[in-house]
Amino acid sequence: MVCALPLAVLGVVFLWPLAVSIAASFTRAGAFTLANYGTVWRLYLRDVGYTLGVAAAGSALTFAIAIPVCGWLRARAFGPVEFLLKVPLFVPFVVVGHALRVFLSPWAPGLAGSWTGIALALAWKHLGLAALLLLGAFRAVDESHLEAARNFGAGTARLTRDILVPMAGPSLAVSAVLIFSSMLASFSIPLMMGRGGGAQMLMIDVYYRFGQHGDFETAAALGVVGYLMAMGAALVYLRRLTPRRGGS
């Protein structure tokens, strides 16, 4: 009974719309069909790979910056840097896309609209979230471990690499999943920065199918592909989130 209300809310706000969009992806003119997935395969397969690539590159870049900085902040707390690192949390996606486009265009006109430009902007935006999650995980590591390592002469880089990262591994994995999934679903930044031609992020294709063609069905099929892409990452997250049975 305790579960009834949360389950009902989950059913209405999540499962129902999900089921409707999955059903729409297998329908055209009221009849069952796989044609929408055929369109995705024919026209958007490259974009699926592109989206995975940009999200992976963006996530890697985010962690390449966040891990050493958060390691340094864990070892020697410094408020102003921590505050600056978290600023991107409060900057809207559209503003990040616009700001980086304006910033990059005069210096590197080709970069802003390229996959590297989009990955850079996504990394910038997600740095705040990564800092929030990583600092929490690093601070959960007991001080005695760090003290012991310091006694053996470990510097901040060594502490981060050999103590903080391994001990916060599960939390790092969960953070990576959350950030990667968010990047997969990004829309505003690619819309603001991307070009009208070439490979596109998947959400831009969803918008195009619906906005320009009124084609709900192919848009829904693209959405399902998006779910599946995020699902692999989400499974890792759920396995970490759910307590394991059997006393491990």
Partner 1 sequence: MLMRALVLLLALAVPASAATRLNVAIGADVNVVEVHKTVLGPGFKAQVPDVELNVVGTGTGEPASRAIYTKIRAQADAGRAPWDIDVALVSMAVASQMVKEGLLLRYVPQMKNAALVKGAEVKEAFGVNVDGYVVPMFQNQIAIAYNPAKVPAPPKTFDDLAKWVAANPGKFGYNGIKGGVSGVGFTMGWVYWKTGLYKQLTQGPFDRSREGAIREAITALRDFNKNVLVTNGNAGTLDALNRGEIAMGAVWIDQLVAWKNEGRMDASITPVLPAPGLPIYPLYLVVPREAASREAAVRYVDYIATPEVQARAIVERFGWYPGVDADRVLPLISAKSRELLFKGVSADDLARYSRQMPIKEYHDLITLAYEEIVR
Q: Which residues are CB-neighbours of 137 under 8 A, at least 6 positions away?
A: 168, 171, 172, 175
**DSSP secondary-structure letter at 31?**
E
Under the criterion CB under 8 A, does residue 136 sit at the interface with partner 1?
Answer: no
Pick the closer one to partner 1 by CB: 160 or 200.
200
Q: Indicate which single residue of 198, 231, 232, 239 sits in contact with partner 1 (rule: CB under 8 A).
A: 198
Q: Indicate which single residue of 67, 121, 204, 220 sits in contact with partner 1 (rule: CB under 8 A).
A: 204
> Which segment (71-79, 130-138, 207-215, 230-238) binds partner 1 by CB under 8 A?
207-215
Under the criterion CB under 8 A, does residue 187 sit at the interface with partner 1?
Answer: no
Q: Where are the alpha helices (DSSP H) in the chain?
A: 4-10, 16-25, 35-75, 79-86, 93-107, 109-112, 115-139, 143-151, 156-158, 165-167, 169-184, 188-193, 202-213, 216-241
In the complex, minimum distance from the CB of residue 180 to partner 1, in angstroms, rounded to a whole number: 24
Under the criterion CB under 8 A, does residue 192 sit at the interface with partner 1?
Answer: yes
How many chain residues are in contact with partner 1, going by CB under 8 A?
24
Pick the closer one to partner 1 by CB: 58 or 113.
113
Distance in angstroms (rounded) separating the CA atoms of residues 56 and 74: 26
Q: Is 127 exposed, middle or buried (0-12, 13-18, 19+ CB in 10 A)?
A: buried
Query: Which residues are near partner 1 by CB under 8 A?
Result: 42-43, 46, 105, 109, 113, 191-200, 204, 207-208, 210-214
